[in-house]
């Protein structure tokens, strides 16, 4: 059996640096010294695993997982679906995907969120699922609203869903955000702009996927997530196994 090896080095040119002064909160929260580069040991190539005992069927349906019986959240009903892949374009099966988001008015159900938009009594704003054997996942939810935030005097976040993914090694751990095709707020958002590479921003922008819609019910967006790839152990001389 092929023993998976260490992970490819993270390409920092597509990742946001720690210090991004236009996103003001990063100023005091960004380390200033260089990180120490580690070669992967067992501590890095291993990571937590999750199974069906950890989550319930329906945890991925934000249209119903907080709604009162017979009621629905307000907003545009969407399906967010895609695959979790690694940099070798291989699907990552049975990995945990967790999402959280504002409601259709742009308000989070969080005791610290005081935005004017109303709380939706039928919307919690979080969901989770495991990818299937092909790395595939889906959620049902409502499209989140844009909302203002205190950074510059008048900044607005584009509509977005926060996404947390694990992979098979602890160093693949990733939190990112899913944006939606066509949103004019994307290019002017200081948090989006922390990403130096325009292609990397495109990669976080879910595309409208008419083929995956449910007619007369929900519109769909496709969002693939890529985690770091890993080498197979070199001495096995099976580069095609990478």
What is the rounded CA–CA span in Å between residue 176 and residue 143?
Answer: 17
Binding of residue 128 to other proteins (CB under 8 A): yes
Question: Between residue 147 and residue 176, which ones bind other proteins under the rule CB under 8 A?
Answer: 162, 164, 168, 170-171, 173-176
Q: Which residues contact 238 (CB under 8 A, 6 or more apart)?
A: 2, 232
State in angstroms the smallest separation of the CB of 41 from other proteins: 5
Residue 123: how many CB atoms within 10 A of its CB? 26
Query: Is the distance from CB of 72 to CB of 65 less than 8 angstroms?
Result: no
Q: Which of residues 42-71 bind other proteins (CB under 8 A)?
A: 42-50, 54-56, 59, 65-66
**Residue 186 Cβ vs other proteins, minimum distance, rounded to whole Å:** 12
Q: Which of 53, 146, 160 is nearest to 99 (CA)?
A: 160
Rounded Cα distance between 59 and 80, Å, is: 14
What residues numbered 206-235 form the site for other proteins, per CB under 8 A? 225-229
Residue 110 annotated among the catalytic residues of the structure: no
Annotated catalytic, 147?
yes
Within 85-124, the residues that bind other proteins by CB under 8 A are: 85-89, 96, 98-101, 108-113, 124
Determine which one of 128, 160, 228, 230 is catalytic.
160
- Out of 92, 191, 206, 220, name the contact with other proteins by CB under 8 A: 191
Q: Which residues contact 61 (CB under 8 A, 6 or more apart)?
A: 127, 139, 140
**What is the C-alpha separation between 125 and 64, in angstroms, rounded?**
11
Minimum distance, C-beta of residue 26 to other proteins, in the bound complex (Å): 5
The yes-or-no answer on residue 162 being catalytic is: yes
Q: How many residues of this chain bind other proteins (CB under 8 A)?
A: 89
Q: Parallel, antiparallel, or unpaired: how do β-strands 4-7 and 77-86 relate?
A: unpaired
Q: How far is the CB of 62 from other proteins (least distance, A)?
A: 10
Query: x/- binding map, residues 3-42, to other proteins, per CB under 8 A?
Result: xx--x--xxx-xxxxx-x--x-xxxxxxxxx-xxxxxxxx
Select which of 109, 162, 173, 231 is catalytic: 162
Q: Which one is catalytic: 23, 66, 81, 108? A: 108
**Interatomic CA distance for residues 40 and 234, integer angstroms:** 14
To other proteins, the closest distance from the beta carbon of 12 in angstroms equals 8
**Site membership for other proteins, residue 146 (CB under 8 A):** no
Task: Decide if 81 is catalytic.
Answer: no
CA dihedral (58, 119, 208, 215) positive or negative: positive
Name the 3-class secondary structure at 202.
helix
125 binds other proteins (CB under 8 A): yes
With 0-12 / 13-18 / 19 or more C-beta atoms within 10 angstroms meaning exposed / middle / buried, residue 240 is: exposed
Active site residues: 108, 147, 157, 160, 162
């Amino acid at each position: 059996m092929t023993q998976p090896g260490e992970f490819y080095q993270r390409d920092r040119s597509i990742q946001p640096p720690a210090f991004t002064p236009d996103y003001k909160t990063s100023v005091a929260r960004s380390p200033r010294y260089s990180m120490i580069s580690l070669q992967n040991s067992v501590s890095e190539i291993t990571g937590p695993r999750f199974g069906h005992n950890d989550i319930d069927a329906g945890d991925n349906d934000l249209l119903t997982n907080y709604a009162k019986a017979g009621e629905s959240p307000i907003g545009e009903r969407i399906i967010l679906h895609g695959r979790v892949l690694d940099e070798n374009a291989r699907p990552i099966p049975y990995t945990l995907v967790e999402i959280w988001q504002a409601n259709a008015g742009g308000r989070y159900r969080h005791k610290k969120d005081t935005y004017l938009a109303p709380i939706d009594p039928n919307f919690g704003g979080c969901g989770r699922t495991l990818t299937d054997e092909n790395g595939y996942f889906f959620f049902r939810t409502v499209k989140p609203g844009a909302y203002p935030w205190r950074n510059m005097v008048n900044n607005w976040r584009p509509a977005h869903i926060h996404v947390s993914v694990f992979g098979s090694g602890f160093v693949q751990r990733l939190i990112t955000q899913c944006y939606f095709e066509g949103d004019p707020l994307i290019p002017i958002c200081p948090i989006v702009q922390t990403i130096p590479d325009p292609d990397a921003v495109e990669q976080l922008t879910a595309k409208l996927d008419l083929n995956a819609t449910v007619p007369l019910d929900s519109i769909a967006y496709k969002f693939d997530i890529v985690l770091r790839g890993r080498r197979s152990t070199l001495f096995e001389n099976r580069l095609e196994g990478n």
